[in-house]
Chains A and B, each alone.
Chain A
Amino acid sequence: MSDDTLVAEAIDVRFGGLQALTGAEVTARSGEITGLIGPNGAGKTTLFNVITGHQVPNAGDIRLGGKSVRGYGVHRRAQLGLSRTFQKLEAFNSLSARDNVLVAAEMSRHSRKPGQLADKILSRVGLNDVADITVGTLPTGTARLVELARALATRPRVLLLDEASSGLTEEETSAVGDLLKQLVAEDDLAVLLVEHDMGFVMTTCTRIHVLDFGQIIAVGTPEEIQNDKAVRGAYLGVES
């Protein structure tokens, strides 16, 4: 389909004897928030790493805007519009929040004035008050928002969020949800997010992929997923 900005096709990853991913397929469309859920150890983060280029798959292909990015390094994919946040916080700890965003803005080809872009994004994410504070000294929740702002500053076409809500308060989480919806609508962005907070997933996502034991077992709207027997089996351990 032409409106699939990101396509991960038949991804296989093996760690020694362990089959982490088997023919996993994920698509993300611009203008939509796509969820990726699954029990612990299902391979969600591994799939993210394959998409961004941190992990080389044993088989499969990644297409970004219809073009294969197979064999491209992490930074090439980032320059082509793939951006992400990490499950374990990976901010530039010794830089200020503004500098974190600025480093990313300066790499973006679409921006002539990285300083302005950085300030715009900071205020949009609501980080104006802490712009000059060293990120290593900020609380985890705020540092996560800095990571989100940094990812946005590369002006991505696809944004991958690995557990964006962990460490955030309930209000912050819903604020992030609203922000994402806004971004997706305005900037024609595709968002793919891994999440454990089911409430957040069900209210934010348009489509959801369910990963279990390295395989996609269901794709659908939140309602479809909630009523899917295989998904219930995977989560509750009930045989379907």
Chain B
Amino acid sequence: MKRLQIRTSLLVALGASLASLILLIWRYGADTEVTSEKIVVATVVGLTIGALYSLSATGLVVVYTTTGTFNFAHGGIGVFSAFVYWEIVENRTGPELPQWLGLLLVVLVVAPALGVAIDVILMRRLRDAPLVVQLMVTVGLMVFLLTLTGQIWQADKIRGVSFFWEGQGFSIGEQKVAWHRFANLVIAAIIAVFLRLLLFRTRMGVAMRAVVDNRDLTALNGARPGALSAFAWALGSSLAALAGILVAPEVEFNPTNLNSLMLIVAISAAAFGQIRSLPLTVAGGLLIGLLESYNREWIDLGADFPFAGRAVAPIVLFLVVLALPQARLSVGRVSNNLRPIERTTHIWEGAIGAIVIIFMGWAIARGALHFLVWDPGEWSSVSLNKGISAMVLALIALSLVPLTGWAGQVNFAPLAFAGFGAFLFLRLGLWFGVPDTGGTGNLVWLPVIGLLCAPLGALLAVFAARLSGLYLALLSLAFALITSNVLFPHPQVFPRVHTFQSPYLDVGLFRIDFDSRFSFFMLLVTMFALGMFCLVVLRRSRYGRRWVAMQDSQAAAATVGVNVIWTKIVVYATSSAMAGMAGVLWATSKSTVDFRDFDLLNGLTIVLLMAAAGMSFPIAGLFLSFQFVFEGLAERLDQTENVGFLVWLLKDFFAKFGPGLLAIGMVVNQRGAIFEMGKGFAPLLPWRSDARAEMATENARKREAEIGGLGLTEPFTSEAVVGLDSVLGIVDDVTPGAGYQHGVTRPMEQTRE
């Protein structure tokens, strides 16, 4: 195992170095020169930054090895802590607080407190939750922390954090090294040694490593699992804070930028150490630091690849995940919250649902619905635009249902597929349409786009097929980052100036234009209803069943003859075709696509809202309208009456914090909001007598004590015992009538006689 780990990491290091060497030779002599002095400078800069990456990554590893939770909020904790530091040291009026005191205060008090709070309030409830839920909650926490930081300290304001020992340093030859950077190296080295000693030489460290393997057994041996996991979270958060504060002077100091640095790099470095080995993680951090630094110095890919530098860490992550040894066919997932009858929607119900959605879309937008005293009236073009934005996101979100909801393949890159679809549509327009305007608006191409997008999904599936769980999530994350930083900003993909035409459908025989906002909105609503109906049909087909079966147990699926790899390829292709077609409408609705549209947070928000609503339900796509509904309501309230608080609540609180908070809410409600809503709603439908019966049983169960009146109000009869035995599957020699007459009292009576 150990040898295999090292081999994998070496392989990746070698691959990454080779790739940079090739790039270096390719670009050699372009407009850069390689000198020994420049090499020294780049190496020193790379190592000092790399040291900080290592610090951050070790925090991630400590939490993972102790609690088994992969913490996507790690970067968010670092960002929040760095801003608190900035607030108390740089921004404070009044008596000056020394930098070192501020640092200690944040690293030793604020961050650990935050970590412990996260553990106690959220993570402990998720110990036995499925991986998807754990992931979504930490991603939700990340989004929440970033929004919080952005709300407290306006994100777009320019601010800076000063170096420690500003301007002072020492010289190596000609080159001056700042004390701050030197200190980075020293601190990282000290922490690495400290962690190694803590985990391997102290009782507590051994207990920390043991607790993740078997919590109960460790507890029996005298350790306190709760205290250990709290300590791990405190330690991990401290490390995130330390790295965040030290890296802050080096970079553009805003939440998103700092987070992508802290989180993506930490994840890549941790993956380099297979999220287990601390020395390899440190090496991974240093490697990424060096690669980034060399890349900055020499590898200029030109104006066409403005953000290629940001892709270094994701590429390392991608390589590591690919080089990992094949995961064994995963067996059994934890299944909780299962209902005795998991009902799949009937096709006719899907058809009715689709019609209802189209009708509601029309009625709401036309203002045909009056809410008693409140007449919302016909939608303005602003509201229609909001509705359009919501519906395109819902369409993209639908693509997650078969992939993540049914087949259990976590995908953080829905926007990558959507972007690819939009790109193809633009190209098709250039090739077959009118060349100058940049794109055709003819939706007749939609199925073609779907077919063309499918291979991209299949390609990702080929990589993903060997992986499961966490590494699969990381692979899709790396994929999203690489496409958004390298592919989509390239001017050949989305030219700086381009316009998607307003859509129309021209099949030769007839032509429908969707040039008014209302008709476009109705087009999207219809597409959503259609997509939802198709999914309902798909779920009832053999493919839907097979996908769910594969999520439940890959090993068992294979033994009944399911080709697991091929099945994964099909489901990825389906999902990417859906996302690609949605991407066309997405791009059309915006009329021009910018690389900023592919920001990781945009993609994550789609995934989060979908997860919070319930990934396995197509109707959950409507949750993507969440933000727009709240914003729209707030605007309308703002116009009509003076209800400032309500407006603030809707617009600034729910609309902004909603996605994060909803995902965090999965702690309580793991199967999503739709699941719970459905439980309440289904009994109202006239044909759902089964749902009414289920509700009645559940209510009856709540009123009863667990074993009923047995032993309390009713005597233990032999029949009752045998009945209990058969329920519990206990085989016993006791036969009714012969053995126990009245349970436990009998033997005592005998002794008295």
Contact = CB atoms under 8 A, between A and B. Distances in A.
A88 B556 CA distance: 11
Interface in A134-193: 134, 136-137, 139-141, 147, 150-151, 153-154, 167-170
Contact of A154 (B342, B542, B560): B560
A167 B329 CA distance: 25
B456 interface: no
Nearest to A53: B558
Nearest to A167: B729
A46 to B, nearest CB: 14
B332 interface: yes
Contact of B335 (A86, A88, A94, A106): A94
Interface in B314-337: 329, 331-333, 335
B341 A96 contact: yes
A103 B546 contact: yes
Given A83-B559, A106-B542, A106-B546, A95 B331 contact: no
Interface stretch (B394-402, B422-430, B561-569, B655-663): B561-569
B68 to A, nearest CB: 20
A91 B552 CA distance: 8
B726 interface: yes
Interface string A37-69: 000000000000000101000000000000000
A99 interface: yes
Given A90-B332, A154-B560, A134 B339 contact: yes
Nearest to B556: A90
Contacts of A52: 559
A128 interface: no
A127 interface: no
Nearest to A133: B340
B729 A150 contact: no
Nearest to B551: A94
A113 to B, nearest CB: 13
Contact of A74 (B329, B335, B341, B728): B329
Interface string A70-101: 00011100110001101011111111100110
Given A133-B341, A169-B729, A169-B731, A92 B561 contact: no
B561 A139 contact: no
Contact of A94 (B542, B548, B557, B559): B548
A94 B336 CA distance: 9
A57 to B, nearest CB: 15
A75 B563 contact: yes
A102 interface: yes
Interface string B591-621: 0000000000000000000000000000000
A92 B558 contact: no
A217 interface: no
6 contacts: A74-B559, A88-B331, A92-B557, A96-B341, A139-B729, A147-B556
4 smallest CB-CB distances across A and B, nearest first, come from A107-B561, A74-B558, A104-B560, A78-B561
Interface of B: 329, 331-333, 335, 338-342, 542, 545-546, 548-549, 551-553, 555-564, 726-729, 731
Given A54-B329, A151-B560, 9 more contacts: A74-B559, A92-B548, A92-B557, A93-B332, A93-B338, A93-B552, A103-B557, A133-B340, A141-B729
Interface of A: 52, 54, 73-75, 78-79, 83-84, 86, 88-96, 99-100, 102-104, 106-108, 114, 132-134, 136-137, 139-141, 147, 150-151, 153-154, 167-170
